[in-house]
Amino acid sequence: MPITVGQDSAKTRRTLTAGSQSLAYYSIPAATEAGLGDFSRLPACLKVVMENLLRFEDGGFSVSTDDIKAFAEWGAQGGKNPREIAYRPARVLMQDFTGVPAVVDLAAMRDGILGLGGDAQKINPLNPVDLVIDHSVMIDEFGNPRAFAMNVEREYERNIERYQFLKWGQKAFENFRVVPPGTGICHQVNLEYLAQVVWSDTDQNGEEVAYPDTLVGTDSHTTMVNGAAVLGWGVGGIEAEAAMLGQPISMLIPEVVGFELTGRMMEGTTGTDLVLKVVEMLREKGVVGKFVEFYGEGLDHLPLADRATIGNMAPEYGATCGFFPIDAETLRYMEQTGRDKDRIALVEAYAKENGMWRGDDYAPVYTDTLHLDMGTIVPAISGPKRPQDYIALDKASTTFGEYIKAQRSAQDTSAKSEIRWEGEGGQPEPMDIPGDEGHHQRGYVATDDGHYQLHDGSIVIASITSCTNTSNPYVMIGAGLVARKARALGLTRKPWVKTSLAPGSQVVSHYLEAAGLQEDLDAIGFNLVGYGCTTCIGNSGPLEPEISKAINDYDLIATSVLSGNRNFEGRISPDVRANYLASPPLVVAYALVGDMNVDLAHGVIGQDKDGNDVYLKDIWPSQAEIADLVQKTVTREAFQSKYADVFKGDDRWQGVETPDSETYDWPPASTYVQNPPYFRDMDPEPGQIHDVEGAKVLAILGDMVTTDHISPAGSFKDTTPAGKYLVEHQVPQREFNSYGSRRGNHEVMMRGTFANIRIRNEMLDGVEGGYTKGPDGSQMAIYDAAMAWAEQDRPLVIFGGEQYGAGSSRDWAAKGTALLGVKAVIAESFERIHRSNLVGMGVIPFEFTGGDTRKTLELMGEETVDIKGLSDVKPLSEVTATITYADGSTKDVTLRCRIDTAVEIEYIQNGGVLHYVLRNLAKAA
């Protein structure tokens, strides 16, 4: 499908020659010549956004000349000019957890538009959409050669309904491609294959046009591709669906924080160590809603794989994106990964012509700056609950000991007498298991291989997982070399550690096998378990029954170490309470010791075949060793061969049968895919924004409540509302799968909203899990309470603390909130994506002002809330909320309405962004 450009963009249209190619493009220098302003010192990331406006100026695209001039004003005003603009990304990226509900919504919109008298074919992606199935494989089998085959078999058994539905979508919708299971993780497939840095396509006049490759994705780590100078970030599925259907993304021109990198990495450190420090620094700085652009001479020594790792974790440091401009390293990476030679020539010529090239003279204006000397980076991990909780490796055991002491003290003061400590690392002394009273620190496990003892800090999961690090050959080769050296000395994983290797693409397996390192990884338990997100998304699979029993019987604080990006509470495994992020080589090393209490940096990690002590330095590879193997095994030919048939899939995928139809025939008995209620019986016209009157409090939540807390992705039990629903529909617990896999069924997902096992509702006293007080004052599941309030026709509100909605771009965190009957969420601050998703579902976000918080207001959950004056509310305006306490007293507080833009007002009036789009498409039919 040809691209459509604005009618008044001709004044900045120029011709570019790159090799044998001649293409049109929209020139930023030409905009200066046309008198629109000086854009020469804009950061490259903002030049990408500005070019987008140049290309779509006028022509019915809601882009004016004043919008373009605003970028010159941004530079003149020191990097600030929060003007609302309409931005159109070139394409959309999805994964299956978030992609399935997005396709469900599109299918439901086809039904909805027919109900409004419109044409079903109007519901079709106008921009290219790629969906990569990567979130479904679960680690049931591990540590043996059959693990990969067995896990793939179970994946298809569990998910065949979803895969049939996605194949239907691939047939039914134009511009929609599916990358089959077993290929890789969406962000790595995007980085290694889909992304082109500079895109080209024909316009409505038949002329070839070059423009920056841009995208939004239904996964927060879409930001990974910014390491290759492709501007992209995560949005909820709701916003992505609107973008697919031609709706522009309404955004404010962002502030851009420049992050200067100097020096170079020291021996013994990795790109993971660097990114963990960057996350800590930027979280402390505060960059929510901002772009971060990396610059400085240090980039001359930073491989693109390391840049992608830093870009990947932008959600962890809170930024919209972490961008690296195009430079010589970008071109080298494109060559290595098999991109077309003409494409590489185009990227270089375009970047230099349009002022997006990072050369020696690159010196843009930034809103603010930070600096980091990479020579100061040391080995590190982060945890146990947040990615920004940085810990230098030599402090890890001490810090863990302090964490355990705090956890035990907080649980029960009577436990203190039963816990004895020795050494600075806080390592527990051996002790007998006491009786039933108090807290138990050690649990004995009997297996066929003998007896061993678990205790607080036993590492039960060590997983090389996630797009963040498995895309980086330097750390993956490094992990293989650690395994090789450990194997040669006679070391192996501890028997209680569940080890796994889940690469982000098949290319990783190719170079590990070419280097002979997969054999070494296999020997110590890191067998291939699948190509997907696995442990990082919560698909760690069950622990061995005897290990799980010991952890739960003796109330142990078991730990995991993973090479991922997320370690939020309740995400990784229901049996694990402390989770640490680390580089792949450190994941291997921690599997060898099996204990967070061990000082990995300086302590003994085991004995060799001759009984000699082995230290980390004895198995750690040099940078030269790693670089040599990367040079020999990570080849252009490998990328070209592995991506040659990327959309074809294996025999299983090819054998998935699906119907040919314009609309979807919803299977009534399906527990995976159901027609959602959003568009049923829609009125052709939007309504008004209604005041919140007589609302009851569903939950009072604390700081850093993540979208994992709001809408968990992992497994659940038959005693939960979602579990009970499945049991009622004759689904045995073995077939429950996960919340993430059932996102196509709103009945499961609304029951799973606020159902994280570690969430804490401050309306209750110290209770963990998704509980609240119902209308009668008794404790019950949040879902059950919401339905009870719905029977009384009562609207609901949620109160929260700082950074509400941090983490994944999980649209179900907003969808579930809306379906529970919540009309407003009142918090101290919101993370960017979740705020947008709430608005997209018709739920109004409000922020406290003037120092008010849930604590200063002494909220208990028995209050009633009224918010008036919403019928004519303006973006970011202040409104008054009246809180009526249980004793009848009242207090007025001022709230800032976080409907940020004018078009978001219309979204709320329509009941959500998709309702807005659907009504407009129906009228245009």
| Secondary structure (DSSP) of 25-92 | EE-HHHHHHTTS---TTS-HHHHHHHHHHHHHSSTTSS--HHHHHHHHHHHHTTS----EEEE--SEE
Q: What is the pLDDT of residue 1?
A: 56
Q: What is the pLDDT of residue 6?
A: 64
The two tokens of residue 753 are: 């909203």
With 70 as the cut, is the pLDDT of residue 152 above it? yes
Contact, 637 vs 129, CB < 8 A?
no
With 50 as the cut, is the pLDDT of residue 428 above it? no
Q: At 446, is the pLDDT very low, low, confident or very high (cuts 50, 70, 90)?
A: low
The two tokens of residue 756 are: 């994280």
Q: Which CATH number fits domain 380-597: 3.30.499.10, 3.30.9.10, 3.40.50.2300, 3.40.50.720?
A: 3.30.499.10
How far, in whole angstroms, is CA 324 from its chain's centroid? Answer: 19
Average pLDDT over residues 701-714: 92
- Sign of torsion over alpha carbons 698, 704, 709, 710: positive
HSE, side-chain direction, 13 A CA sphere, residue 217: 36
| Omega before 384 within 30 of 0, i.e. cis | yes
With 50 as the cut, is the pLDDT of residue 654 above it? yes
How far, in whole angstroms, is CA 409 from its chain's centroid? Answer: 33
Chain-wide mean pLDDT for the chain?
A: 91
Q: Nearest-CA neighbor of 215 among 223, 203, 227?
A: 223
- Cα separation, 233 vs 246, in Å, equals 17
Structure confidence by residue, pLDDT tens digits, 757-784:
889 999 999 899 999 999 999 999 999 9
Of 50-59, 86-95, 319-328, 840-849, the poorest mean pLDDT is in: 50-59
Average pLDDT over residues 131-159: 89
- Looking up tokens 């591709």 gives 225
What one-character-per-residue DSSP string does 826-877 give? EES-B-HHHHHHHHHTTPEEEEE-TT--TTTTT--S--EEEE---TT--TT-
Q: What is the pLDDT of residue 2?
A: 65
With 80 as the cut, is the pLDDT of residue 450 above it? no
Of 58-62, 363-367, 436-440, 486-490, the poorest mean pLDDT is in: 436-440
Q: What is the pLDDT of residue 279?
A: 94
Q: What is the pLDDT of residue 421?
A: 29
The two tokens of residue 382 are: 């982060």
Q: At 481, is the pLDDT very low, low, confident or very high (cuts 50, 70, 90)?
A: very high
Indicate the SS3 state at residue 534. helix
Q: Nearest-CA neighbor of 324 among 314, 343, 311?
A: 311
Average pLDDT over residues 464-478: 89
Contact, 123 vs 113, CB < 8 A?
yes
Indicate the SS3 state at residue 517. helix
Q: Nearest-CA neighbor of 812 among 729, 732, 709?
A: 709
**Domains of the chain by residue range:** 10-87, 380-597, 692-924
Q: At 206, is the pLDDT very low, low, confident or very high (cuts 50, 70, 90)?
A: confident
Q: At 94, is the pLDDT very low, low, confident or very high (cuts 50, 70, 90)?
A: very high
Q: What is the pLDDT of residue 857?
A: 97
CB neighbour class for 617 (10 Å; exposed up to 12, middle 13-18, buried from 19): exposed
Q: What is the pLDDT of residue 413?
A: 40
Indicate the SS3 state at residue 560. strand
- Cα separation, 913 vs 240, in Å, equals 10
Contact, 738 vs 572, CB < 8 A?
no
- Cα separation, 481 vs 249, in Å, equals 45
Total count of residues recorded for the chain: 925
With 70 as the cut, is the pLDDT of residue 621 above it? yes
Q: Nearest-CA neighbor of 154 among 715, 529, 671?
A: 529
Q: What is the pLDDT of residue 419?
A: 30
**Residue 348 neighbours by CB under 8 Å, 6+ apart:** 18, 326, 331, 357
- Residue that wins the pLDDT comparison between 104 and 414: 104
The two tokens of residue 853 are: 């918080």
Q: Where are the beta strands (DSSP E) in 338-477?
A: 368-373, 380-382, 390-392, 421-422, 427-428, 442-447, 450-455, 459-464
What b/e sequence results for 840-876 when a residue is b if at least 16 CB atoms lie within 10 Å of its CB, and e otherwise?
bbbbbbbbbeeebbbeebebebebbbbbeebeebeee
Q: What is the pLDDT of residue 221?
A: 92
Most confident by average pLDDT, 349-363, 414-428, 553-567, 652-666 = 349-363
CB neighbour class for 890 (10 Å; exposed up to 12, middle 13-18, buried from 19): exposed
With 90 as the cut, is the pLDDT of residue 237 above it? no
HSE, side-chain direction, 13 A CA sphere, residue 186: 28
The two tokens of residue 540 are: 């760690």
- Cα separation, 230 vs 132, in Å, equals 18
With 60 as the cut, is the pLDDT of residue 422 above it? no
Average pLDDT over residues 106-123: 92
Percentage of the chain surpassing pLDDT 90? 76
With 70 as the cut, is the pLDDT of residue 439 above it? no
Q: At 534, is the pLDDT very low, low, confident or very high (cuts 50, 70, 90)?
A: confident
Structure confidence by residue, pLDDT tens digits, 502-530:
999 999 999 999 999 999 999 999 999 98
CB neighbour class for 48 (10 Å; exposed up to 12, middle 13-18, buried from 19): buried
Q: What is the pLDDT of residue 415?
A: 37
The two tokens of residue 822 are: 């919540």
Helix (H) or strand (E) holding 580, with range, is strand 578-581
Q: Which CATH architecture has domain 692-924?
A: Alpha-Beta Barrel (3.20)
Helix (H) or strand (E) holding 641, with range, is helix 636-642
Q: At 235, is the pLDDT very low, low, confident or very high (cuts 50, 70, 90)?
A: confident
**DSSP summary character for residue 759:** -
Structure confidence by residue, pLDDT tens digits, 856-896:
999 999 999 999 999 999 999 999 999 999 999 999 999 99
Of 88-97, 498-507, 537-546, the poorest mean pLDDT is in: 537-546
- Cα separation, 196 vs 357, in Å, equals 16
Q: At 925, is the pLDDT very low, low, confident or very high (cuts 50, 70, 90)?
A: low
